[in-house]
């Protein structure tokens, strides 16, 4: 029975590592807030660096590839070095998750890429601890994962099913995955609030030039260089000089900074009063 339990841990860990790899490589995480502050309170330098690493797309891809390699290695070999590397990886993950829960209550752990964007709770810490225990238990497993799969015993299947059910119960990522699946087709992740979303000026110009508002007023614009550009909340405003019926005017374009369904509005104003004549 002990050997059966040990072998089932190898399959569990391989499945978890491969799932984490797939999530990190395919599911983008929402941009986080200011990395060195929580509710306006400075975060210790060590935790700030830890959060910066967690938010780095390059680091996330590297971690995902490393987890994928470990998961595959667990399937094809029973070498002790692979088991030790897996155990050390889960020990490190447990430490990181615990530190984030205490020092960064606003941040997710990134354990499963963009699905792990919610704040780290007790369930995530307990899950990491249990996986660490499973990794330690697997050190004595005599078989590699594929060898276990070739001759799956009923006991292995029952143990694995029970552990996967416990893993699902401790995983807030499942609800995040269901939310993404309920989004309209083609929208792979929830849109970030437009007032917080990064919107380069070049993106604003592209959206504006393709809009009906620009085409409507293009002929009266007197200069290719805008007079002023600024952003307020969910809009970026671009002001151009214009000439309408032999009168000097200004035209203001309001361009949405939302990720999807961007709209462009325009208004003609007189330079003296700056009161919109149309919107």
pLDDT tens figures, 150-204: 887 888 889 989 999 999 888 888 877 776 665 544 444 555 677 777 888 888 9
Enumerate the H helices of 27-150 as residue ranges.
45-55, 57-76, 80-103, 122-137, 145-150
Q: What is the pLDDT of residue 239?
A: 94
pLDDT tens figures, 95-107: 988 888 877 655 6
Quote the CA–CA distance of 230 and 84 in Å, as a whole number: 55
- Dihedral sign, CA of 198, 203, 208, 211? negative
Query: Residue 259: is its pLDDT beyond 70?
Result: yes
Q: What is residue 158's three-state secondary structure?
A: helix
Write b or e for each residue in 33-57: b if 16 or more Cβ atoms lie within 10 A of its Cβ, otherwise e. eebeebeeeebeeebbebbebbbee
Q: Extract the tokens encoding 106.
A: 């606003």
Q: What is residue 235's three-state secondary structure?
A: strand
Quote the CA–CA distance of 81 and 84 in Å, as a whole number: 5
Counting residues of the chain whose pLDDT is more than 70, the rounded percentage is 80
pLDDT tens figures, 117-151: 777 788 889 999 999 999 999 999 999 999 988 88
Quote the CA–CA distance of 21 and 48 in Å, as a whole number: 24
Strand ranges (E), 139-263 = 228-232, 235-244, 247-256
CA nearest to 38, candidates 93, 94, 101, 96:
101
pLDDT tens figures, 5-50: 998 999 999 999 999 999 888 876 544 444 444 333 344 444 444 4
Q: What is residue 271's three-state secondary structure?
A: coil
Give the residue with greater pLDDT, 272 vs 109. 109
Q: What is the pLDDT of residue 258?
A: 84
């Amino acid at each position: 029975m002990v050997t059966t339990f040990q072998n089932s841990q190898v399959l569990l860990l391989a499945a978890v590592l491969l799932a984490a790899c797939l999530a990190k490589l395919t599911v983008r995480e929402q941009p986080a807030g200011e990395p060195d502050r929580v509710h306006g309170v400075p975060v210790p330098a060590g935790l700030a660096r830890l959060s910066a690493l967690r938010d780095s797309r390059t680091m996330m891809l590297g971690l995902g590839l490393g987890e994928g390699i470990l998961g595959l290695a667990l399937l094809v070999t029973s070498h002790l070095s692979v088991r030790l590397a897996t155990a050390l990886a889960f020990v490190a993950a447990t430490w990181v998750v615990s530190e984030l829960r205490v020092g960064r209550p606003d941040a997710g752990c990134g354990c499963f890429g963009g699905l792990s964007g919610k704040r780290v709770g007790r369930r995530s810490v307990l899950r990491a601890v249990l996986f660490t225990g499973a990794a330690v238990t697997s050190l004595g497993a005599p078989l590699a994962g594929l060898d276990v799969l070739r001759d799956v015993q009923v006991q292995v299947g029952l143990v694995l099913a029970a552990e996967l059910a416990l893993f699902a119960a401790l995983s807030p990522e499942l609800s995040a995955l269901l939310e993404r699946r309920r989004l309209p087709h083609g929208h792979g992740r929830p849109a970030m609030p437009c007032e917080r979303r990064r919107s380069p000026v070049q993106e604003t110009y592209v959206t504006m030039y393709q809009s009906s508002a620009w085409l409507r007023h293009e002929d009266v614009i007197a200069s290719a260089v805008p007079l002023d550009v600024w952003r307020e909340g969910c809009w970026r405003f671009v002001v151009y000089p214009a000439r309408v019926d032999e009168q000097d005017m200004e035209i203001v374009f309001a361009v949405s900074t939302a990720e999807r369904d961007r709209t462009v509005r325009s208004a003609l104003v007189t330079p003296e009063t700056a009161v919109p004549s149309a919107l």
